A and B are shown apart, each in its own frame.
Chain A
Amino acid sequence: MAKSSPSRQRVERSPTKFFLTVVYKNLLRRAVRSLLTVVGIAIGVAAVVALASIAWGFQKSWEQAYTLRGTDLIVTKISSRNPLPEPFSDQIRADVLAMSHVQEAAALLSDMVSIEDSPTVMIFGWPTKSFVWDHLKLTAGRWPAGDDDKAVVLGTVAAEVLKKATGSTVQIETTEFTVCGIFESSALVENAAVILPLRQLQEATEREGRINFLNVKLKPGTKPEEVDLLRATIKERFPSYKAFAAGEVAQNNTAIQMAKAMSWGTSIIALVVGAVGVTNTVLMSVFERTHEIGILLAIGWRRVRILRMILLESILLSLVGGTVGIGFGFVTVKILQNTPVMRGKIEGYISAELLGVAILIALALGVLGGLYPAYRGSRLHPREALSYE
């Protein structure tokens, strides 16, 4: 070794593998405690993954439904206290249809109703001769013959939930309808819905001439700036309405926003609890190892290395918990979406982005939970730590 000078010591690079072995063995020392901490973190991360994937899945399903219908713009009331926009007069359809670049405009009424003894389902009233039907695939029976036909079609999930088949009857409010067909859609929200002619739904719910969505299909070749101009025109002519792009309406949907807010709120609580758990575990571990930290300081470990060791223990615990939690969350969603009560209502959407967020959250748990214990451990006085019993 070169001649030592106390004030001229070089900071050396970290021997990673050996260092990781020490960290790993520290965690295994109290295997049960480490395991319980991992389980705690896993539950927190699973809650995040499950709730966020359900909220995102909800949004995704609506976006998919609009895209499949070939809708370019959706005109609706700007604000509403209800999960679905409040109904408005269908006279707006004629005005919008007269605007430049508009090819078709379908006036729709959507609602959530409880049919007979079954749980609440989505119900759509659509004009029978409209482009919005085009993407649906009939698997049994027929489509409603016209606006006067007292018939409904059921999505495959809705048929299963309502236990109905072609030829059965369903009662909506006080009116009885015949199930004339079963259809399939790529969007869960439609698969779990009941669709009937617009006029029939308006009459059954006593909302004649009222709709809550106007789906607009634009002429082919309409340029983005022309779309923007059209949106601005609608906004100017109908100040209490707004024209959303297909994806935006789902994002602005009150129900989806509530679901997302609830998922994040619950997630934050789960994470705070998780961070406290990690801090407690790592801090206990530091207290128990005070004497050993004294040994490490005595044999020349730098304070920053002690800090890194404790922080790494915390991060490792959290990452393992996070990984387990992702799997646990995924399984939870799968189980939930197949339970009779939830079937057709939720669809988990696990994206790479969500997995990335979950891992980042686990990492943040590890860092936040380990920071204080690591600081405490690294600031120990070597003489006092060595004499600690």
Chain B
Amino acid sequence: MPGDARAVLIETRDLRRSFDGGRVQALRGVNLTIGEGESVAVAGPSGCGKSTLLQMLGALDEPTQGEVLFRGESLRAIRDPSLFRAHTIGFVFQSFHLLPTLSALENVQMPMVEMAWSPRKRRTRAIELLNAVGLAERVSHRPRELSGGERQRVAIARSLANGPKLLLADEPTGNLDSCNAAQIIDLLLQIHQEQNMTMIIVTHDLAIAGCTDRIVRMLDGQIVTEPATC
């Protein structure tokens, strides 16, 4: 945020990503700086590169050119991106991406597998998180036994399981009705405020984007403007 004294958590420098041998340019020189504890919405039409940018920020993909710096250190220097994600990143996806054979409680525990925590601590934390998202009574239910809104709540609880520094949400309300969508956004904003974590939401819904600290608007793989928000 211009003029903000917050420490930089993550930034991109001339970030480019092309596919299909360079025929598809998904990102074309993105420069973005996001501070600690900031909430940012990345908005734009379908195919503008929002999700690709989010994947780069979450170390799910590598740039063709340019780099992503996390607390000043390039993600290219990471020996094990999975472990970086395990300790630093929380993901919320549009399609929830829960594991169908596992209960809500087990789904939430999945990111904790990489933590040196006792089984009791993992279980207690998972129950606390499910409680926090309002699913205390649904812990043993499998995804197919939950509504869309409940599944996204489980996914949010899972994204918080590792105590992430950066929460990345890719169209988190895309598969929900308006009532559930509003509840999920409220929940994400509440978590952001309570835990003071950095949150980036990809959305094409300007109403949702307007609730964040800052909106980054994208078009054709580039940032076109960063207007002031509500």
Contacts and interface: CB of A to CB of B under 8 A. Distances in A.
Nearest to B78: A6
Interface in B57-88: 58-61, 70-71, 73, 75, 77-80, 82-88
Interface stretch (B114-122, B178-186, B206-214, B221-229): B114-122
Interface string B82-97: 1111111101010001
A299 B86 contact: yes
A41 to B, nearest CB: 23
Interface in A269-316: 291-292, 295-303, 305
A98 B51 CA distance: 96
Q: How large is the interface on B (under 10, 10 to 19, 20 to 34, 35 or more residues)?
A: 35 or more
A26 B125 CA distance: 24
A214 B110 CA distance: 72
B78 A305 contact: no
B102 A25 contact: yes
B111 interface: yes
B119 A17 contact: yes
Contacts of A12: 114-116
A120 B119 CA distance: 65
A6 B91 contact: no
B97 A300 contact: no
A12 B97 CA distance: 24
Contacts of B80: 9, 302-303
Interface string B140-168: 00000000000000000010001101000
A302 B78 CA distance: 13
Contacts of A28: 101
Given A18-B119, A21-B106, A300-B162, A4 B97 contact: no
A165 to B, nearest CB: 66
B32 interface: no
B87 A4 contact: yes
B109 interface: yes
Q: How large is the interface on A (under 10, 10 to 19, 20 to 34, 35 or more residues)?
A: 35 or more
Contacts of B97: 291, 295, 298, 386
Contacts of B163: 1
Contact of A22 (B82, B102, B114): B102
B132 interface: no
B3 to A, nearest CB: 26
Contact of B77 (A4, A7, A383): A7
Interface string A2-20: 0011110111111101110
Contacts of B114: 12, 300-302, 305
Nearest to A292: B99
Nearest to A24: B101
A113 B98 CA distance: 71
B113 interface: yes
A46 to B, nearest CB: 30
B196 interface: no
Contacts of B87: 1, 4, 9, 300
8 contacts: A1-B162, A12-B115, A17-B119, A292-B99, A300-B85, A303-B82, A305-B114, A382-B61
